[in-house]
Amino acid sequence: MNGAASRRAQAGMTLVELMIAMVLGLVLVGGAIQVLLSTQESYRLQENMARLQENARFAMEMVARDLRMAGYSHCGTIDNISFHNNVADPDGDPDPAFDFGNAATIRDVAPQGALAGSDALRLRHAQERSLRVQTVPGGGSANLKVGGNVLHLQQGDVVTVTDCSEADTFRITNTPAETEDESDQVTLAHAANFNVSPHLQGSYAAGDRVVVIRNLTWFIAEDDDLHADGTPVPVLYRDAGDGPEAVVEDVRAMRIRYGTDDDGDGSAERYLRAAAVTDWRRVVSVRVSLLLQTAENGLSPTAQSVVFDNAEVTSDDRRVLRAFTTTVSLRNHSGGAP
């Protein structure tokens, strides 16, 4: 009697009970795996979206900063200054790259290698810091004496001296002293070996300014690197004259609309594409739209569609797309053409 009771107490689970336990275990494990995968996908999406938002903010701030400086010259807009280009090209003729007086300070451009179907922008402005002219030798000599060298000018650099009504652009042919003390007198020589003439065409005096004027270009091009899925990386580039510099990756397109002042009140009446602008001096604001994508593919269950520049754009993959727009007033253009 006691033996039978002992055998019943030691009896294990039946086959049916084992199968039920295994099924319940598999369900629990499957649920845990599903939660883990869902969490990973959610984290991947959030990480990509955070990076996209940060890239958009940075790109918009950089573009807007350059646009706000467009036309800046330390004394009114560049468009109102009469420029003399003394910089020589290899043939001894005026180098068109420094012909600041015959081209608008802002306009469209078609850089080599730029992504087809995306707009590009070129603008011009003087650097914020300048040098004060101390003395100007007679006879039109361009051996200017300036106070200090906070611009860190070197031999071969191109500078412009201006009295706010006219200006002479020339290439420095000596080695300027390295000093930021404005009480130190620094010579900027202007020999004929790299300039059309060793003489200035304008008349300048103490107190006038020597500035560095730069052309800047914004455009989109495909990078040499590829995404993990083998697709090219579209990059927003900024070229300040020293070669293109990558600013933000995964910018699919840029659209630019130019606000023109048609009645001279200083505000834009219409926003036009570059081809429709007939007088670039009337452009008083610029509307920039950027279309960004996530770096990783497969984050959207289907191909996404977004409204970009008043048109619907559908992705050709499963990346997430977002459109961003900002409008910038050109502080050095306000008022329209004279």
State whether 91 and 185 are in the same domain.
Answer: yes
* pTM given for the model: 0.82
Once rounded to an integer, what is the mean pLDDT over residues 296-305? 88
Residue 199 falls inside a structural domain:
yes
Residue 64's alpha-carbon distances to 178, 328, 332, in angstroms, are 32, 6, 14
- Residue 285 maps to a domain: yes
Q: What percent of the chain has pLDDT over 70?
A: 91
Please report whether residue 306 resides in a domain: yes
- What pLDDT does residue 6 have? 54
Q: Is residue 6 part of a domain?
A: no
User: 182 burial class (0-12, 13-18, 19+ CB within 10 angstroms)?
Assistant: middle
**151 pLDDT higher than 80:** yes
Residue 199, number of CB atoms within 10 A of its CB = 15
Instruction: Identify whether 22 is part of a domain.
Output: no
Do residues 319 and 233 share a domain?
yes
Q: What local confidence, expressed as pLDDT, does residue 175 receive?
A: 96
Does residue 261 or residue 16 have the better pLDDT? Answer: 261
- Domain encompassing residue 262: 46-70+116-121+215-329
Quote the number of domains for the chain: 2
Q: What is the pLDDT of residues 269-291, one digit of tens each?
A: 999 999 999 998 889 999 999 99
The single-letter DSSP state of residue 264 is: S
Lowest mean pLDDT segment, chosen from 13-22, 81-90, 94-103, 238-247: 13-22
Within this chain, do residues 95 and 188 fall inside the same structural domain, yes or no? yes
**Dihedral over Cα of 165, 166, 171, 172: its sign:** negative
Does residue 336 have a pLDDT over 70? no
Is 21 domain-assigned?
A: no
